[in-house]
Structure 1
Amino acid sequence: MNHRTTLMLAMGLGGALVAGMALGHGNVTPQKVDTRALEPLGEEWVEENPYRAPYDKHELAVEVGKSAYSENCARCHGLEAVSGGIAPDLRELESTPYGDEWFVERVVNGAGQMPKMADYLSQEALWAIRTYVESLETE
């Protein structure tokens, strides 16, 4: 292979990689989340994660959140919240009132390419997602 062919091949592969990364943030239809087994929270956003332990249905909230995360968040934030670098690693978010405030700000108002997820998912679903992510350990 000559130098020109190698250069053109490298440019083609690079272009395909960039296009694939761009498509990773393409239009995604949010999937419904069944939160009927969790405590209803109403329309007004609560300030702190209500499903964090010692919530009596904490483990159920983790399971609901895991499913909801897989369907609605993993495409950009990575499987099991292990970011591939496109979006923030959500496991790094503090499990504190400050972290909760940051979370609410982003899901209600959107951030960067992330849509306003509160327009599509209930706060019960979003707090369950937060509960699931908090259950994961960072390496």
Structure 2
Amino acid sequence: MNPTPSLKPLPWLRHTLIAGWAALSLSAALAHGDVVPQAVDTSSLPQLGAKWLDANPYNPASPARGEALRIGTSAYNQNCARCHGLEAISGGISPDLRKFDGDCTGLADAAKKEACFKEMDDYFLATVRRGRVRDGRVYMPPFEGTLSQEAIWSIRTYIETRREP
């Protein structure tokens, strides 16, 4: 008799592992969802007009900030979370948006800090409106035409609340 037990896997274990892997793969594929940008209802926000604003109108002093945050949270989950992660915590596929303007928050000089946030607003708006394409590969789809200015600034409002300290 051989004192060493057999290391052959049990047949039921192999089938269980394969079934588990298949279920996990299917759920991951279904969870990714539709990659087409989804429109957002912003009718409860003051309309900003056709001309794109240079800075987020839903700043902390804005009376519409609470509503913009509510809409932005939902809009982010519908359009951004699949790549940038739930609650803006990236899993590594796309940039972690909690760190989006992190270089600005640490600036001591108020004028430099304001200029930095303005530059980040410009970058954010351009990126979301036109998307990001490199070497013919789409890294981020353009959202202009699907998302209104109100929706995009609402998403920016949500991202601002997710900043890392």
Query: What is the one-letter code of the residue matched to 1:97?
Result: K
Higher-Rg member (1/2):
2
The percent identity for this pair of structures is 45
**What is the TM-score with the length of structure 1 in the denominator?**
0.77
Q: Would you say 1:122 and 2:143 are equivalent positions? A: no
Secondary structure of 1:30's match?
coil
Q: Deviations over 1:4-30 (max 9, x none)?
A: xxxxxxxxx9xxx8xx79xx5x86122
1:118 aligns to what SS in structure 2?
Answer: coil
Among 103, 108, 111, the alignment partner of 2:132 is 111
Q: Which has the higher strand share?
A: 2
Give the Cα–Cα distance (whole angstroms) in 1 for the partners of residues 131 and 36 of structure 2: 15
Q: How many residues align?
A: 122
Cα distance in 1 for residues equivalent to 2:49 and 2:64 = 18
Where does structure 1 lack aligned partners over 5 or more consecutive residues? Answer: 3-12
Matched residues in 1 for 2:128 and 2:99: separation? 16
Task: Give the aligned partner of residue 51 of structure 1.
Answer: 58
Gaps of 5+ in 2: 1-6, 9-20, 105-116, 134-138
- Provide the TM-score with structure 2 as the length reference: 0.65
- CA shift for structure 1 position 31: 2.0
Distance of 1:85 and 1:52 partners within structure 2: 29
- Of the candidates 27, 42, 48, which is equivalent to residue 49 of structure 2? 42
Residues 94-114 of structure 1 show CA distances to partners (whole Å, capped at 9, x for unaligned) of 271111011011012211421
Q: Which residue type is aligned with residue 76 of structure 2?
A: Y
- Cα RMSD for the two superposed structures: 2.4
